[in-house]
Structure 1
Amino acid sequence: MKTTGSRPGLGPSAVRTAHRDVTERLRDAIVSGVLPAGSRLVQAELAANLEVSVTPVREALRELESQGLVDFDPFRGATVHQVSLAELDEVYEIRRTLIPIAARERVRTITDEEIEDAEAIASAMSLRSDSTRWVEDNRRLHRLLDGTSGQVHLRAIMRRLADVSSLYVGLSVTTDPTRRRRAREDHKELVKAYRKRDAALVTAITLRHIGDTETVAREALLRSGTL
């Protein structure tokens, strides 16, 4: 698909559409491993490959930096974020601490419509879908379920952690052929727990769910020698 960038004659809505499209395409390439960790992200090269101007690429890289998927270095420029055991430990420890707080808030604020949307996404997550699609659907599902809409700062922290975690989710589903099946069952149980507005059950399932991802990702990192 050919995308249009911020070229003369295009209005603000077209520029925003190009920015969103480039952001999603780069995020997919990073999470799926098409752009491996540590890869240099040269704006001119990306713009040429994506058939857009440099402007939406530059904006997309800044947005992906805010999500923890891209790093900026004064010497190397933009690079794909490098996963590590140290980061895995830090991110998942913080998530385990915040999940009980977020669950108590979310079971109070989530709407029936949001639960229905979450159930539809969970049902559509096929074991046969490619890793990029699975990780993105997983991200959409958890953004709905972990919305914490009443607490702005908590939501921002949880979303940043979830964005960084998507790299480890991608690692887990590409290295363990049984991970998706377990995750899909967790998703179904989570939806049911939210329907019951049972914060304790939501917390227990979520902690088990992210613990599984952490374990599989850790094993993959150790096998690869990544510290």
Structure 2
Amino acid sequence: MEKKRPQTARQYVLGMLRAEILRGEHCAGARLRQEEVASRLGVSTTPVREAFRDLLAEGLIGLDTHRGVLVRGLTLADVRELYELRIVLEPMLAVRALSLTDTTQLDAAEAIHLRLCGEKDPERWASLNVAFHQALNVAAADGRMSRIVAGLAEAAGSYVSLSMHATPELMALNNGDHAELLRLYRLRDEDGVAAKTAAHLAQTLSAIERDVETRVVVLAEAG
């Protein structure tokens, strides 16, 4: 059995706070105090400060001049914008990568796919999911489009974890999509890869939308 890699203090704090926000334990507008979080989680303030930076980049918290760090909560506007961009750009990147990808790279992606199929924890599944798509598209990793797509995927990671918590069967559905993507990559089917990539993203977006609406999260538009 594969041993779990030890987490850094930053990763531990980030994972805990992200999960708490996703579960609705901190309502939108709630203030997060650095010292209180550090004391509660048994760490110094340094990893808390670093985790706040990560959460800010993910859009789960915001900064107020007078009140400090505030929970933003989840908004459908945010997630829809992320996925609208991904659905346009990721099929284009996949087709570009397809012409450059070799068997070794596809074998690496398949190895990650096998780990995904055996993973039940939503947080770890979401992390492996990012690694799987990066492995598929690594041959086109040097361009600007790849960097933009990577940033969008990272920002969407929290929403992916949320959807997996709410709809565990979605992991199996997505694992099936991954298997089909690998098949299409090996066939060098550009149209199939593009269509499946877009459908795969749309499926996750639909699951996230259903869950956010069910939770009755505050869905005010940013700004």
TM-score range, shorter chain: 0.7 to 0.9
Residue aligning to 2:195: 204
Which residue identity does 1:171 align to in structure 2?
L
Residue aligning to 1:21: 8
Structure 2 unaligned blocks of 5 or more: 1-5
- What's the CA shift for 1:212? 0.8
Residue aligning to 1:135: 126
> In structure 1, what is the Cα distance between the partners aligned to 2:79 and 2:177?
21
Q: Is the 8 A contact 1:68 1:160 kept in 2?
A: no
Structure 1 unaligned blocks of 5 or more: 1-17
Match of 1:149 among 138, 141, 152: 141
Match of 1:97 among 85, 88, 101: 88
Q: Number of residue pairs matched?
A: 208
- What's the CA shift for 1:211? 0.9
> In structure 2, what is the Cα distance between the partners aligned to 1:206 and 1:182?
14
* Closer/same/farther in 2, CA of residues 57 and 224 from structure 1, 3 Å limit: closer
Question: What do you get for the CA RMSD once the two structures are aligned?
Answer: 2.8
TM-score (norm 2): 0.78
Residue aligning to 1:66: 57
> In structure 2, what is the Cα distance between the partners aligned to 1:49 and 1:106?
45
Q: Is the 8 A contact 2:13 2:47 kept in 1?
A: no
- What's the CA shift for 1:119? 1.0
Question: What are the superposed Cα offsets for residues 47-84 of structure 1, whole Å, 9 maximum, x if unpaired?
Answer: 33454432333233224433444433323323455221
Q: Is the 8 A contact 2:14 2:51 kept in 1?
A: no
> In structure 1, what is the Cα distance between the partners aligned to 2:104 and 2:35?
43
Q: Give the alignment of 1:75-90 within 5 angstroms.
A: 75-90=66-81
Residue aligning to 1:15: none
- What's the CA shift for 1:94? 1.1
Q: Is the 8 A contact 1:109 1:149 kept in 2?
A: no
* Closer/same/farther in 2, CA of residues 191 and 98 from structure 1, 3 Å limit: same
Residue aligning to 1:108: 99
> In structure 1, what is the Cα distance between the partners aligned to 2:154 and 2:19?
10
Which residue identity does 1:53 align to in structure 2?
S
* Closer/same/farther in 2, CA of residues 67 and 119 from structure 1, 3 Å limit: same
> In structure 1, what is the Cα distance between the partners aligned to 2:180 and 2:35?
45
Q: Is the 8 A contact 2:166 2:211 kept in 1?
A: yes
Q: Is the 8 A contact 2:98 2:137 kept in 1?
A: no
Q: Give the alignment of 1:142-181 within 5 angstroms.
A: 142-147=133-138, 148-151=140-143, 153-181=144-172
Residue aligning to 2:35: 44
TM-score (norm 1): 0.77
> In structure 1, what is the Cα distance between the partners aligned to 2:97 and 2:13?
30
Residue aligning to 1:9: none
Match of 1:220 among 196, 203, 211: 211
